[in-house]
Amino acid sequence: MNPKNETRSTGALFLDAEALYKELLRGVAMLCQGDTKLVGITSGGAWLVERLQRDLNLPGKPGVISSAMHRDDFAKRGLANSAQTQLPFDVNGAHILILDDVLYTGRTLRAVINELFDYGRPASVKLAVLVDRGGRELPVQADFAAARVALGEQQSLALARSESGVFSFEVQGV
């Protein structure tokens, strides 16, 4: 493994984000129908769809979706400084593949689906994630996960991207 692409936490967790991206690319290619629209959750998912759209040679621009307006903890968190929702296609009748870096409780996905339905009624919605870390609070699961890892409740895992576009993970907590 390349040290630039792996993260070490106190629990000796090693994740090669670039290797997992290649696995995600394979999984997304299998999930995509001819007219599937990619939508990334800000910010890690948005980075993923930007690169997936290019690597899969898909036409058009991918969508970006924010969970900020529909979060059940909006009063605590407020609006994030991340990108706002931009869906450059008609959601009505579309086959949507939502992408995120890490699936944890399911609350972000619930908020994103509410946001998506503010724009129309898709024909189908699927989910692909780079890492499923378990710990679900809502009945949500990914159609594809490049990796499944167990992290402590006090740990967090987030995708990072270098200026050159290389992915890595940041693990925080004990």
The pLDDT confidence band at residue 169, using thresholds 50, 70 and 90, is very high
Predicted confidence at residue 3, as pLDDT, reads 36
Confidence of residue 171 (pLDDT cuts 50, 70, 90): confident
CA distance 140 to 64: 20
Structure tokens at 152: 């402590």
Mean pLDDT score across all residues of the chain: 88
Evaluate if pTM is beyond 0.75. yes
Comparing C-alpha atoms, which of 87, 66, 90, 86 is closest to residue 78? Answer: 66
Domains of the chain as residue ranges with CATH: 15-172 (3.40.50.2020)
As a whole number, mean pLDDT of residues 75-83 equals: 56
Q: How far apart are CA 163 and CA 142, in angstroms?
A: 29
**What is the structure's pLDDT at 80?**
57
